[in-house]
Structure 1
Amino acid sequence: MQSRQKIAIIVAGGAGLRMGSDIPKQFLHLHGKPVIHHTLQAFLSAYDDMQVILVCPSAHQVIAQEIVAGLSKPSAVKVIQGGETRFHSVKNGLQEVTAPSVVFVHDGVRPLVSTELIQTCYEAAIAHGSAIPAIPMKDSIREVQGEHNKAVDRECYKIIQTPQTFLSEIILPAFDHPYDPLFTDEATVAEKNGHPVHLVAGEEANIKITKPLDLIIATALMQ
């Protein structure tokens, strides 16, 4: 296969409402640095030739640039404006992809993603066209429909993580579709365009920081 760029689109558009904070969760401090710093650095450290697109609201552009300046390779990171929804933010990021690439799309508030998972996703995307990290469900689950509910087999379900990783020729045309509220992640967009997605083993530590307890857990994991 011809040489491919590696491009990580980091989506950082959260407002921090569930954190009960005036500061967006991606800018809260974790182990002495903003959450988003750890996320960006994880991708820069995974591959020497990684290019990163940080997508965030216009109101956060200045602080984002300040954080980027403190990274190991600030020149490899470009900050662009986000959109109305995650779909539109990712679509803005994809406009920066102009050559055959492996494209990672990652939540800005998953700062504990490992080098191993990033590299696993890259290799699986090369082999299968896509790589979606997933972990097993531990708890019992029930399907609820109105006033009725029933137990379902948790072995038939997985918890989906990021980075959701694709060959550019799969993910770029998929995002030509009009926005649909059912597009909860990039995998659903790819599936809508006729591409089944390939699951890889995710990581328990690759948590998404959305609530105060998540920040406590992330701090403990980093220590």
Structure 2
Amino acid sequence: MSDTTAPEPRSVLITGGNRGIGLAIARAFEANGDKVAITYRSGDVPEGLLGVRADVTDAASIDAAFSEVEAEHGPVEVLVANAGVTKDTLLMRMSEDDFTSVLDTNLAGAFRVTKRASKGMLKLRRGRIVLISSVVGLYGSPGQVNYAASKAGLVGMARSITRELGGRGITANVVAPGFIKTEMTAALPEDTQKNYLSSIPANRFAEPDEVANVVRWVSSPEAAYISGAVIPVDGGLGMGH
């Protein structure tokens, strides 16, 4: 006789989860029956989600946010490090601040939230860490030396975490989206959109849900033996990288 007992809802935290891809990820876990919290810096908290204001560049802010989530939902069992920024400009025009501030949010921010989440995961002897990278991190892009470096660094982070914590029931993986259908891409000139589309074998932009569903799956029991992987969701744009 098969066991049909529904899985217990997990405590899930998505950084930068009140809009865009982050919100789609949050909704995917909510639909899965999980207890979902998001961090945000500005804007509104979407209905049905626990919102905690946090700045991923500030360790004290992160600690306070985790304490709030733990009090409401219990120790974080699934962490999705999604918060990120861009400051695009060509290398010769890129300032020190343009470079370091992007790395401080995208790479060091992921380090801060992962380190804090690992405390509870180690006690539970289980956990899922998903770092949201980008096709740019492996493929490269002019004007995005800072962003590409920050997103490439997440790969080394996930693989090192896998080697450190893999024996404790904790997985760490990278999901690398390509061009996603968002307000930002919709606002691009038609010629620019056509130029981008011509480089994508699938000949379309992804829906945010297509990224969210992959994140949810790699955090599921079905993916328990996957760790240190880079999973592209880019329509074939970055294949081979």
TM-score by length of 1: 0.37
Structure number with the higher helix fraction is 2
TM-score by length of 2: 0.35
